[in-house]
Amino acid sequence: MKLKATFLFVLLLNITFGYAQEDCATKLSLMVESAKAKAYDAAYPQLQSLRKDCAKYHYGIYAYGEKVLKHKVDNSSGEEKKAFIADYAKLYSEAQMYFSSKFPKGEYMGKAAQLNYDNKELLGIQNEDLYNQFDAAYKADAATFDSAKSLYVYFKLMVGLFDEGKKPASDLFNKYDDVVERIDAITESYQVKLNKYVAKEESGAALTSKDKKYKANYEANIAAFEKVSGSVDAELGSRANCENLIPLYTKDFEANKENAVWLKRSVSRMFYKECTEDPLYEKLVKAYDAVESSADTKYFVGTILFNKGKVNEAMNYFKESFDLQTDPLKKAKLANKIASSLKKKGRYGEARQYFEKALKLNPSNKYPHVLIASMYASSANNCGDTNFNKRAVFWLAANEADRAGGKGSSYAKSYRAKAPTKSEIFSAGNAGQTIKIGCWIGRSVTVPSL
C-alpha cells in the first residue's frame, strides 16, 4: 500500500513538473516573440511572470529581459525610472545567480555600474560610490570587464578622486596600468582574429560576405579601443610627469625592489614619460632585470645603453630582447619600439628592418608603413643625385604611406605634392621609367606616366 502511494505521489509530481515546464516554455516563447517584435511594453509583464515562476528555467529570460528593461529605463522618468534602474540591476543579479556561465560578473556588474553612472544625477550617487561599483566589477572578474566605455569611465572616476585628494598618486598610476593592460589585452584578442582575414586577403583569396562582416567588426572594435586608450592617456595627462614619478618611485623602491610587476610598471612609465635621463631609471631597470630577466628587461637595458651613445652594445640587447619574445603580437610591439628608438637616432635602415618585422608579425597594424614613409621623406634630399631624383623619393614615400590604408592617405597626398609635377616629368622625358634610389633606402620607384 505504501509503495503504491509513493508511486502515485511521484507520478503526480512528474505530471505537475511537466506542466510547469510546459507553462514556462510557453511564457518564454511569448516574451521572446514580443521582444523580437520590439513590443517591449507587452513583453514586460511576461518577463516579470517568468522571473517569479520560472527563474531557473532558461537563460533567455535574462538575455531578452535585458532588452525589455532597457526599453523601460529609456522611456521613463523620475521615480518610475529609478525603479526600473533598480530592477535592471536586480535582473543582472538574478541572471548571475541562476546562469553564472552565461552572465559573467565582470561584464554584468560593469553594466550595472555603467547604468548607474549614466543616470547618476537622477540617482544622486556620488563619484566615489560609482568608482567603488566599477572597482568591484573589475576585481570580481577583470577578464570579462571588457566594455570600452566602462573602462574609460572607471579610470576617469579615479582621476577625479585623485584630483579631490581622495586617492594617492600610487593608486592613480596603478589603476592606469590596470586599465591600459586590460585595453591592450582586448585589442590584441581582436588583432589575432583580424589577422586571419588580413592574411587571407594578402594571399589573394577573396573574402566571403561573412568574412567581410567579421573583419569589419574586428576593425571597428580595435578602433574603439584605440580611441579609448588615447582618451585614458589624455585623462592621465601631466599627472604622470617626471616631477611626480621620480619622487614616488624613489620613496617606494626599497619596498618594491623585488616586486616584478611594480618594477615593470615603473620602468615602462618612466620610459614612456621620457624620464630616462634620471639615475633612478637605470636603478629600476637593473632591479627589474635581476628579478625577472625577460624580453622586456633586455629592451630597457638596451635603451639605457642607447641613450649613453653605446649604440652597438644596445643593438645586441635589442636583438636579444626580440629573440626572447615568443608571443607574435608582443613581438610586433617590441619590434615597433626598437624601430622607433632607431628612427630617433637616424639609423633608418635598421629601423626599417624592425618596422617590417612588426608588419609581418601583426599585419592588421599597418601604421609602421607611415613611419617608414616618413623616413623616406626625411631622406629625400640626401638620397638622389639630381634634384628630380631627390624629389622622386616622395613618390616612394607616398606609395609606402598608401599601404597603411586610411591612416596613410593624408600622408601620401602631402608627399605626392612634393614630388615632381607633370610638366617636370614631361621636361625630363622619363615618364614610366624606373629610378633607383641610393643611400640607405636602396629601393626603386617608377615615374608616373603622363
- Helix (H), strand (E), coil (C) string for 19-46: HHHHHHHHHHHHHHHHHHCCCHHHHHHH
> Angle between the 328-344 and 295-307 helix axes, to the nearest 10 degrees?
0
Q: Could you read off the pLDDT of 274-285 as tens digits, one per residue?
A: 899 999 999 999
**How confident is the model over 226-251, as a mean pLDDT?**
94
| Side chain identity, residue 441 | I
For residues 315, 320, 322, 324, the Cα torsion angle rounded to the nearest 10 degrees is -170
**Residue 222: other Cβ atoms inside 10 A:** 20
Tell me what pLDDT residue 183 has. Answer: 96
**Residue 166: other Cβ atoms inside 10 A:** 13
Q: Which residue has the cell 599597418?
A: 366
Tell me how far apart the alpha carbons of residues 341 and 302 are, in angstroms, rounded to a whole number: 10
Tell me how far apart the alpha carbons of residues 273 and 236 are, in angstroms, rounded to a whole number: 11
Taking alpha carbons only, the member of 369, 347, 349, 348 closest to residue 358 is 369
Q: Residue 55 class from Cβ within 10 Å (0-12 exposed, 13-18 middle, 19+ buried)?
A: middle
Q: Which residue has the cell 614610366?
A: 432
Tell me how far apart the alpha carbons of residues 139 and 89 are, in angstroms, rounded to a whole number: 18
**Residue 330: other Cβ atoms inside 10 A:** 16
Quote the percentage of the chain above a pLDDT of 90. Answer: 89
Taking alpha carbons only, the member of 375, 361, 355, 368 closest to residue 405 is 368
Q: What is the per-residue DSSP string for 112-165?
A: HHHHHHHTHHHHT--HHHHHHHHHHHHHH-GGG---HHHHHHHHHHHHHHHHTT
Q: Could you read off the pLDDT of 348-372 as tens digits, one per residue?
A: 999 999 999 999 999 999 999 999 9
Q: Could you read off the pLDDT of 70-82 as tens digits, one per residue?
A: 999 999 999 999 9
pLDDT band at 4 (very low <50, low <70, confident <90, very high): very low
Main-chain phi, psi angles of 280, to 5 degrees? -60, -35
List the end-to-end C-alpha distance of the chain, in Å, as a whole number.
Answer: 105
Tell me the three state secondary structure of residue 419: coil
Tell me the three state secondary structure of residue 2: helix
Main-chain phi, psi angles of 443, to 5 degrees? -125, 175
**How confident is the model over 397-414, as a mean pLDDT?**
94
With beta carbons less than 8 A apart as the criterion, state whether 439 and 382 touch. Answer: yes
| Helices assigned H by DSSP within 292-327 | 295-307, 311-324
pLDDT band at 407 (very low <50, low <70, confident <90, very high): confident
Tell me how far apart the alpha carbons of residues 184 and 446 are, in angstroms, rounded to a whole number: 40
The three grid cell numbers given for residue 386, joined into one nine-digit string: 639630381
User: Is pTM beyond 0.95 here?
Assistant: no
The three grid cell numbers given for residue 112, joined into one nine-digit string: 550595472
| Cα angle for residues 186, 226, 397 (degrees, 5° grid) | 125
Which of 238-242, 347-351, 404-408 shows the lowest per-residue confidence on average (mean pLDDT)? 404-408
Q: H or E segment at 239?
A: none
